Every structure is written in structure tokens, then in C-alpha cells.
Amino acid sequence: MIAVLTGDDRPAGLEERADGAEIRFASESTLAAALPGADVLLTWDFLSHAVPGAWHAADSVRWVHTASAGVDKVTFPELLASDAVLTNSRGIFDRPMAEYVLGCVLAFAKDLPGTLALQSRTRWRHRETEGVAGKRATVVGSGPIGHAIADLLRAVGLRTELVGRRGGEGVHPFDALDGLLPTTDFLVLAAPLTDTTRGMLDKAALDALPDSARVINVGRGGLVVEQDLVDALAGRRIAGAALDVFETEPLPDDSPLWAMPNVIVSPHMSGDVVGWRDLLVDLFLDNLTRYRAGEPLRNVVDKSLGYVSGKG
């Protein structure tokens, strides 16, 4: 039996394509009641914090799948200590998120926010803009999303460095980041949220960046010490930020980030393109077929690391 934690929408076609599996759809408030007897939990509402509080009712869950690449909402101690296999939706968001990051880089370089602001006031003001060829980008996160971002940035001429947990061929280890920051024009955060990466962009890291640098965060809000970022932006210690994720989501109405002219705010949508929900359902159903056949699942998360290790 499959328990599905849903939000405002349900996974289209799941019931029709699940080959007779019993499915219980649940909201945050009814998840605990839906879990007893379920051997599979699909967290379709991957931004929800409901699973830890309902996990006490999971008496037979053997597999948890999240419709997201990040797994920080479901890596709580009780699940990590359990025998349940955890899988994610790695592979769905790589190219869309890379395109989003490239769009932000070009928007900053070509001052599209400034153009739109002037247009709204019917102001004709000629300016010169920046070229991106030869600029330096540092992408933190060397999984498929980070690699896709690096590939697109390199395609338009940015000299791009990848930073990962261990490093390796073409990837700097995480402890090399400090040495890269002083020459970074675009710092892209695409890492999973773990004990190592939480709060990695703090005052010290921001101070190490050139005052012309821009920060683009498509990973998790917890990667950034948000008040330190606000202070750096307000003091013009960095030139701008494009933020798709935040410490608190939705971003509170009173956040100063909304009104800052050097900030692009988007509502956690960098990987969401037309058809993405269908791809998420396809991936889950493929894994469901594997699960029923006793075959290895795709995208198994190493619970000690907090992400899919290797080819997963």
C-alpha cells in the first residue's frame, strides 16, 4: 500500500498507472492516519515538514520516495535510523535548473532588472552592459545539477569551477572553496543541505567575494546565513543575488530581500518547467515496478551523506 503526502495537487495519473496498488492520499494533518499498513511513502508535497511528526505511525514503511532532488525534509533521525530505503527524484531538474542559472547570469550581466524598472517608468536611459565571456563562476555542488549548470555556463564562455564534497576529476574539494571566492564573479549554490553545507555562505564567505560578485542560490535556503547576505547586499559588499530558495518559504512579506534593487526573488521554481510533474510520476512508477520485482531502485540516497552517492 502506498501513502501519498499531497499538497495543493495530486500526482496526475498515479492511480490509473499504479497497477492496482492501494493508494491513500493524505494531507499534512491526515498523514499519520494514512501511514499504518503502508509499505511505501511518496512525499509528493516535498516542501512539507509533516513526515517527521507523522513517522511514529509508519509501522511497515520499507521505502520512502520524495518528489525532489533535495532530501533535507525527510532526513530526520528516526527515518535515518530505520531500515526504510530513501530515494529521490534526481535527474528531473538538472537541465531546467541549469537554464534558470544561466538566465540569472545573463539578466545580471545585461541589467535586465534595470531595463524593466526603467521601462515601467517610461525612462529611456542608454547604458553599457557586461559581457560574460571570461567571467569566473564557481558552482558549489558537483552532482548532476551542478554539472549541468557548469556545462551551460562554460558554453557561453564563463570560466567555471566545480566544488564538491570530496573533489575529484575536474572538481575541487569543498575545503578549496575559500581560495576560489576572491576571484569569483558568479557564485552558484547547488549543493544539498547537509551538516557540512548548512550556513556555508556566511559573513566570512561573503566578505571574501569581490564587491562585483553575484550570488545565485538554487540549492536550499539553509545554505545561506540570510541576514549576513542581506547585510552584504545592503552594504554593497556584493553586487547582487538571485535567490530561488530561502530560510523560510514562502519568503515573509516583511523580508528586506523583496525590495532590494540588486536582488531577484523567485518562489522555489528554478527546476519546474512545463511537464515536470509528469516526469516525477514516471520516475516514481518506474521505481515502483522495480520495488515490486525486488530489483535495485534508482536514486537511492546514502542516508549517511544526505544525497545519492555515485550513479545511485
pLDDT value of residue 69: 95
How does pLDDT run across 280-309, given as a tens digit for each residue?
Answer: 999 999 999 999 999 999 999 999 999 998
267: cis peptide before it, omega within 30°? no
DSSP conformation class of 214: E
* The pLDDT of residue 242: 98
Using DSSP's 3-state secondary structure scheme, residue 282 falls into: helix
CB proximity list for 16: less than 8 A, separation 6 or greater: none
182/148 Cα distance (integer angstroms): 24
d(C-alpha 195, C-alpha 8), whole Å: 30
**Which pLDDT does position 134 carry in this prediction?**
98
Q: Which one of the listed residues 220, 236, 247, 292 is annotated catalytic?
A: 220
295 catalytic residue (yes or no): no
Q: Which of 22, 78, 130, 249 is catalytic?
A: 249
CA distances from 130 to 94, 185, 189, 253 (A): 27, 12, 22, 32
User: What is the rounded distance in angstroms from the CA atom of residue 21 to the CA atom of residue 41?
Assistant: 13
Q: Residue 311 above 80 pLDDT?
A: no
In order of their start, the domains of the chain are 2-90+274-308 (3.40.50.720), 94-265 (3.40.50.720)
Q: Please determine, for residue 279, whether its predicted confidence score (pLDDT) is greater than 60.
A: yes
Tens digits of residue pLDDT in 22-77: 999 999 999 999 999 999 999 999 999 999 999 999 999 999 999 999 999 999 99
pLDDT for res 307: 93
Catalytic member of 136, 268, 277, 290: 268
Active site residue 277: no
This prediction has a pTM of 0.94
Confidence of residue 8 (pLDDT cuts 50, 70, 90): confident
**86 pLDDT tier (thresholds 50, 70, 90):** very high
pLDDT at 309: 85
90 labelled catalytic: no
- Starting at the edge strand found earlier in the chain, the sheet holding 23-26 runs 23-26, 2-5, 40-43, 63-66, 85-87
- Is the pLDDT at 216 greater than 90? The verdict is yes
pLDDT tens-place string over residues 126-182: 999 999 999 999 999 999 999 999 999 999 999 999 999 988 999 999 999 999 999
- Reference 90, options 190, 158, 186; nearest CA is 190
Q: Which grid cell sits at 94?
A: 538538472
CA–centroid distance for 17 within its chain: 28
Residues 6 or more apart whose Cβ sits within 8 Å of residue 92 = 69, 271, 276, 279, 280, 283
The predicted-structure confidence for 219-263, as pLDDT tens digits, reads as follows: 999 999 999 999 999 999 999 999 999 999 999 999 999 999 999
Q: What local confidence, expressed as pLDDT, does residue 312 receive?
A: 39
